[in-house]
């Protein structure tokens, strides 16, 4: 019986090495990017930057309207997407009879998730801004972003509903519960952590979107805060885009600082998603 | 009058099944089953895997039709009323015909107490005047399921914290709490160890005083121990249905004899 190492072991080590490289490469790139951004924007990263309005002078310009605008957008988007998305997922997963139509709907939702965001912008422009007469309002922007993330929310909510064991639905039915009672009292509460995580991650994608907002008419220089759903607005990525396009060098520092703020927001949102999931899972046992 | 009614009920079976056929899509899994399940007795359904015994009892409380593309034909009368008739609400039927499954499936997010009350809460049929009443229901159902003494001090612990056998008895208690007339059990011991199985078998003996019980089992010994009557299924047909004694001592059909003597299955 021979016990020498063979080539198989070497192959395995090579594979693990490659995987490690695959992990460290993007992580390294991300760190370099973050480092460069923080270095470039360092000078502008102070309390006043968050609280000031845009200005012709780079060192006085702040990001407040964009930050507040983004908060408005994301809250409205959440309000619009969650009920529709979760409702659609419940219908598709719990009520829809399997068949051709179901498969067709499924494929189309998956396709919609891959449609470029500009296209949603154009749709938003035609439907919300023009047809429904919402104009260049926060509501029009949020509705457009809602369309954009809706397929993602539906897909992740369906995934979450699928993790609830069939045996629990059967238990409900055997006790004389209707489908709706089973969903409302057992299935949905169990799927909630997954639904929330998926939805929040989808929403965090909406925070970073620029293209559709340009199309539906978010402004770039705004010296006021939105005061309602019909108010004009700007958003973080729009503000960053505007600063990058300025010819003056000094504004680049503002853009870098703006990106750091945007990334922090996204990190925060993702953190909330993870925290929520863990909290709810503990409660659900 | 009351006497006459009681006498009649003792004679007419709880379930009378006529020409029952069932399909999954194009595949026919039950071929014209005819049988009567007597009141307050335990009826065992035995047969090799895939013979349609689970499908059969799932037709009794209309759980079969929850599977996509599943279909049923024929008659299943519960105390004289065809449960497949138009206008019969399967949801209400299932409150009269409870079911316990192969794998214990307590609701994972609920305590022992909440699991017992789940049926009443889910269906919004919690009796009014709560408090003491709720406690009574929990104690009564858990006692009937022979679980009360083991869990009375931890009613607020999660149901999943119990052992497998206790979980299965919790599921039985949950089914009993909605006060059904019939209890269907789909291989209730197949996921349990012998000691836990023995407890469930004892339970079946005591429950049949007040409930009609239909139990699917792959264990012939279990069928012989717990049931008054036994139905032997093979390839979607009912081969023989008789008192358990006769099935196991003098079966009429050679296939039944081959099965119970272990020649196949």
Going by pLDDT thresholds of 50, 70 and 90, the confidence category of residue B252 is very high
Nearest to B107 among A168, A174, A181 (CB): A168
* Chain A contact for B84 (CB, 8 A cutoff): no
Average confidence (pLDDT) over B175-188: 94
Is the confidence at residue B200, as pLDDT, over 60? yes
Chain A closest-CA separation from residue B216 CA (Å):
16
Query: What are the chain A neighbours of B170 within 8 Å (beta carbons)?
Result: none
Cα three-residue angle B186-B49-B47, rounded to 5 degrees: 75
Chain B closest-CA separation from residue A99 CA (Å):
10
Residue B265 in domain = no
Is the confidence at residue B193, as pLDDT, over 80? yes
* Chain B contact for A230 (CB, 8 A cutoff): no
How far, in Å, CA of A151 to CA of B9, rounded? 57
Is the confidence at residue B56, as pLDDT, over 90? yes
Going by pLDDT thresholds of 50, 70 and 90, the confidence category of residue B3 is very low
Q: Do A167 and B63 touch (CB under 8 A)?
A: no
- Give whole-number Cα distances, B171 to A224, B51, B55, B113, B133, in Å: 61, 26, 20, 11, 20
Burial A75-86 (b: 16+ CB within 10 A, else e): ebbbebbbeebb
Helix (H) or strand (E) run with residue B241 in it: strand B237-243
A interface mutation test: which of B60, B68, B105 has the most A CBs within 10 A? B105
Going by pLDDT thresholds of 50, 70 and 90, the confidence category of residue B2 is very low
Q: Do A175 and B178 touch (CB under 8 A)?
A: yes
Beta strands in B89-211 (DSSP E): 97-100, 182-186
Handedness of CA B186, B192, B194, B195 (dihedral sign): negative
Residue A44 in domain = no
Q: Do B103 and A167 touch (CB under 8 A)?
A: yes
How many structural domains comprise chain B?
A: 1
Cα three-residue angle A119-A121-A125, rounded to 5 degrees: 120
Residue A86 in domain = yes
Mean confidence (pLDDT) of chain B:
90
Residue A85 in domain = yes
Start-to-end CA span in chain A (Å): 49
* Chain B contact for A100 (CB, 8 A cutoff): no
Q: Is A213 exposed, middle or buried (CB count within 10 Å of its CB: 0-12, 13-18, 19+)?
A: buried
Residue A222 in domain = yes
How far, in Å, CA of A162 to CA of A184, rounded? 15
How far, in Å, CA of B136 to CA of B4, rounded? 32
How far, in Å, CA of A271 to CA of A182, rounded? 31
Residue B63 in domain = yes
Q: Do B121 and A165 touch (CB under 8 A)?
A: no
Task: Specify the residue for token string 């909440």.
Answer: B114
Beta strand pairing call for B70-78 and B81-82: antiparallel
How many structural domains comprise chain A?
A: 1
Closest CA to A186 of B113, B122, B101: B122
- Residue B10's domain comprises 2-260
Is the confidence at residue B216, as pLDDT, over 90? yes
- CATH assignment of the domain containing B181: 3.40.50.300
pLDDT, tens digit, for every residue of B119-147? 999 888 777 665 558 889 999 999 999 99
Phi and psi, residue B106, nearest 5°:
-65, 155
- Residue A218's domain comprises 49-284
* Chain A contact for B66 (CB, 8 A cutoff): yes
Write down the pLDDT at residue A2. 67
Minimum Cα–Cα distance from A183: chain B residue: B122
> For the range B196-204, what are the long-range contacts, defined as Cβ-Cβ under 8 Å and sequence gap of 24 or more?
B196/B163, B196/B164, B196/B165, B196/B166, B196/B168, B197/B165, B197/B222, B199/B146, B199/B165, B199/B169, B200/B165, B200/B168, B200/B169, B200/B172, B201/B225, B201/B226, B202/B146, B203/B145, B203/B146, B203/B169, B203/B172, B204/B42
- CATH assignment of the domain containing A231: 1.10.3720.10
Q: How many other C-beta atoms are found inside a 10 Å radius of the C-beta of residue A275?
A: 11
Contact partners, residue A181, CB within 8 Å, separation at least 6: A172, B122, B123, B124
More confident of the two residues B54 and B130: B54
Residue A244 in domain = yes
ipTM of the modeled complex: 0.88
Residue A276 in domain = yes
Average confidence (pLDDT) over B9-33: 88
Mean pLDDT by 10 residues, chain A (285 residues): 68 92 95 91 85 85 90 93 95 86 90 92 93 91 94 94 93 93 92 90 88 86 85 90 88 91 90 85 59
Chain B closest-CA separation from residue A190 CA (Å):
8
Query: What are the chain A neighbours of B61 within 8 Å (beta carbons)?
Result: 174
Residue A32 in domain = no
Is the confidence at residue B41, as pLDDT, over 80? yes
Residue A9 in domain = no
Residue B32 in domain = yes
How many residues are given for chain B?
Answer: 265
Q: Do A185 and B121 touch (CB under 8 A)?
A: yes
């Amino acid at each position: 019986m021979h016990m020498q190492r063979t080539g198989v072991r070497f192959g395995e080590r090579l594979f693990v090495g490659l995987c490690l490289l695959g992990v460290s490469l993007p992580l390294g790139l991300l760190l370099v990017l973050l480092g460069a951004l923080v270095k470039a924007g360092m000078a502008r990263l102070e309390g006043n930057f968050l609280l000031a309005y845009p200005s012709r002078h780079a060192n006085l310009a702040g990001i407040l309207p964009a930050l507040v605008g983004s908060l408005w957008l994301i809250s409205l988007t959440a309000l619009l997407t969650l009920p529709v998305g979760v409702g659609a997922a419940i219908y598709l997963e719990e009520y829809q009879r399997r068949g051709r139509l179901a498969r067709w709907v499924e494929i189309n939702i998956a396709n919609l998730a891959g449609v470029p965001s500009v296209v949603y912008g154009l749709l938003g422009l035609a439907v919300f801004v023009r047809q429904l007469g919402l104009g260049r309002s926060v509501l029009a922007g949020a509705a457009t972003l809602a369309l954009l993330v809706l397929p993602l929310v539906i897909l992740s909510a369906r995934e979450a509903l699928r993790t609830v064991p069939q045996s629990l639905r059967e238990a409900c039915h055997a006790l004389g519960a209707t489908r709706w009672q089973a969903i409302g009292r057992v299935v949905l509460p169990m799927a909630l952590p997954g639904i929330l995580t998926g939805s929040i991650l989808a929403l965090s994608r909406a925070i970073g979107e620029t293209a559709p907002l340009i199309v539906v008419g978010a402004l770039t220089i705004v010296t006021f805060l939105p005061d309602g759903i019909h108010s004009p607005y700007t958003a973080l990525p729009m503000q960053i885009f505007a600063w990058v396009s300025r010819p003056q060098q000094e504004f680049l520092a503002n853009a870098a600082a703006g990106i750091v703020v945007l990334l922090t927001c996204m990190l925060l949102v993702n953190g909330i998603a993870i925290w929520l999931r863990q909290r709810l899972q503990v409660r659900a046992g | 009058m009351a006497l006459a009614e009681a006498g009649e009920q003792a004679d007419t079976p709880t379930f009378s099944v006529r020409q029952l056929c069932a399909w999954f899509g194009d595949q026919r899994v039950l071929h014209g089953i005819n049988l009567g399940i007597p009141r307050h007795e335990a009826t065992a359904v035995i047969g090799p895997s895939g013979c349609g015994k689970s499908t059969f009892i799932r037709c009794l409380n209309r759980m079969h039709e929850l599977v996509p593309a599943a279909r049923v034909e024929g008659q299943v009368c519960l105390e004289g009323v065809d449960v497949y008739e138009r206008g019969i609400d399967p949801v209400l039927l299932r409150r009269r015909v409870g079911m316990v499954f192969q794998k214990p499936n307590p609701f994972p997010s609920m305590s022992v107490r909440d699991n017992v009350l789940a049926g009443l809460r889910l269906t919004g049929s919690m009796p009014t005047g709560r408090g003491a009443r709720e406690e009574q229901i929990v104690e009564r159902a858990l006692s009937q399921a022979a679980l009360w003494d083991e869990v009375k001090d931890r009613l607020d612990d999660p149901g999943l914290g119990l052992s497998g056998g206790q979980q299965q008895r919790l599921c039985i208690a949950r089914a009993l709490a909605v006060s059904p007339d019939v209890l269907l059990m789909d291989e209730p011991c197949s996921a349990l160890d012998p000691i836990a199985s023995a407890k469930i078998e004892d339970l079946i003996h005591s429950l049949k005083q007040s409930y009609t019980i239909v139990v699917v089992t792959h264990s012939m010994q279990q069928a012989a121990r717990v049931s008054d009557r036994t139905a032997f299924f093979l390839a979607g047909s009912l081969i023989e249905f008789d008192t358990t004694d006769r099935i196991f001592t003098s079966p009429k059909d050679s296939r039944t004899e081959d099965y119970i003597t272990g020649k196949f299955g």
